[in-house]
């Protein structure tokens, strides 16, 4: 259902509030640069610091500005099943085409609890779901057997896999079927992920280098791995630099260097990236040919 380069969009702020004008510019630039879908209000979008009304205003603006040019996969996860369901229903109302949903964080449910959580969401809303498996952030892992049980539901359309476990790709392909959409959640692993049967990447780097990321994904999809390796070599220092400090601080710093319409403002507890991180980002942008 989804493929290619899919940026997990930053949420621009100005003087503490959502910067709608900058976000509209970002959406247009991403689509014009070849991004194949957009993810508002994920981790990179600082969803944890957005109030409910603000969160879904971002989703609404994203869908409105995209104007059906690409699909919108809205971040909807919560560690409370009732809130996750409320989020999905609101995202659907605001024009989202799918929901990106993590397993419950902090609670540390069993696999039975994770299964029951997602089945309750399926029963309560018909918006398609992309699972988001990111154990490093949630302390909760959708294991392969559980994912296979979820994949039989038509509304579970794929996974953003940020487990960093490359064995999972083949195991999930065998358990969930070849048509189950697997999207990389780690830019630095995406070359190998694609070679093993991935469909694309929900990417932090694509915020900053959307055209290069789209070209990379097109090369992988065409089986042109020599060209994909060349592009990956250009992008790899940027993949690393964008996590040289707490994300999305580095991505916002890089975007602000490239465009005068967006700032690097973050919300606490995130703080601006360090001088060492900035130097690494500056070098990576130059290496990629972006400055």
CA separation for the pair 286, 34 (Å, rounded): 21
Q: For residue 150, give both structure tokens.
A: 């979820």
- pLDDT category of residue 237 using cuts at 50, 70 and 90: very high
Structural domain of residue 113, as residue ranges? 4-222
Whether residue 235 lies inside any domain: the answer is no
Q: Tell me if residue 252 is catalytic.
A: no
The CATH number covering residue 45 comes to 3.20.20.70
For the entire predicted model, the pTM comes to: 0.96
Q: Of these residues, 86, 105, 106, 132, which one is catalytic?
A: 132
Q: For residue 210, give both structure tokens.
A: 């959307």
Q: Tell me if residue 149 is catalytic.
A: no
- The radius of gyration of the chain from alpha carbons, rounded to an integer in Å, stands at 18
Q: Of these residues, 90, 160, 252, 253, which one is catalytic?
A: 160
Whether residue 31 lies inside any domain: the answer is yes
pLDDT at 223: 96
Task: For residues 45-57, give the mean pLDDT.
Answer: 97
CA distances to 25, 101, 142, 235, 238 from 30, rounded to whole Å, are: 9, 22, 30, 17, 17
Whether residue 287 lies inside any domain: the answer is no
Whether residue 266 lies inside any domain: the answer is no
**pLDDT tens per residue, range 106-159:** 999 999 999 999 999 999 999 999 999 999 999 999 999 999 999 999 999 999
Question: pLDDT at residue 62 above 90?
Answer: yes
Enumerate residues 6+ apart whose C-beta is below 8 A from 27. 9, 38, 61, 62, 65, 66
**pLDDT tens per residue, range 152-163:** 999 999 999 999
Task: For residues 67-72, give the mean pLDDT.
Answer: 98
Whether residue 280 lies inside any domain: the answer is no
Average pLDDT, the chain: 97
Q: Tell me the percentage of the chain whose pLDDT exceeds 90.
A: 100
Enumerate residues 6+ apart whose C-beta is below 8 A from 17. none
- pLDDT category of residue 287 using cuts at 50, 70 and 90: very high
Whether residue 179 lies inside any domain: the answer is yes
Whether residue 188 lies inside any domain: the answer is yes
Whether residue 53 lies inside any domain: the answer is yes
Question: pLDDT at residue 97 above 90?
Answer: yes
pLDDT at 1: 78
The total number of residues shown for the chain amounts to 291
Number of domains in the chain: 1
> 280 vs 1, which has greater pLDDT?
280
CA separation for the pair 89, 111 (Å, rounded): 24
């Amino acid at each position: 259902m989804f493929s290619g380069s899919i940026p997990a969009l930053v949420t621009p702020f100005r003087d503490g509030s959502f910067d709608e004008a900058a976000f509209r510019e970002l959406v247009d630039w991403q689509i014009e640069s070849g991004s194949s879908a957009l993810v508002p209000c994920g981790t990179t979008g600082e969803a944890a610091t957005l109030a409910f009304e603000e969160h879904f205003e971002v989703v609404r603006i994203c869908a409105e500005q995209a104007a059906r040019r690409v699909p919108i996969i809205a971040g909807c996860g919560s560690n409370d099943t009732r809130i996750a369901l409320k989020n999905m229903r609101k995202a659907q109302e605001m024009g989202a085409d799918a929901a990106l949903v993590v397993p419950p964080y902090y609670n540390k449910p069993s696999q039975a609890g994770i299964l029951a959580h997602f089945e309750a969401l399926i029963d309560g809303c018909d918006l398609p779901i992309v699972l988001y498996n990111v154990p490093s952030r949630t302390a909760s892992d959708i294991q392969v057997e559980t994912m296979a049980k979820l994949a039989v539901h038509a509304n579970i359309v794929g996974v953003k896999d940020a487990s960093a476990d490359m064995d999972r790709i083949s195991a999930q392909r065998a358990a969930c079927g070849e048509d189950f959409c697997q999207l990389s959640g780690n830019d630095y692993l995406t070359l190998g992920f694609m070679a093993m049967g991935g469909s694309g990447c929900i990417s932090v780097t694509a915020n900053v280098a959307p055209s290069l990321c789209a070209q990379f994904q097109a090369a992988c999809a065409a089986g042109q791995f020599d060209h994909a390796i060349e592009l990956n070599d250009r992008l790899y220092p940027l993949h690393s630099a964008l996590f040289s400090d707490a994300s999305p601080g580095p991505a916002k710093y890089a975007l602000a260097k490239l465009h005068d319409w967006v700032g690097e403002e973050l919300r606490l507890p995130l703080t601006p990236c360090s001088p060492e991180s900035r130097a690494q980002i500056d070098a990576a942008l130059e290496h990629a040919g972006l400055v």
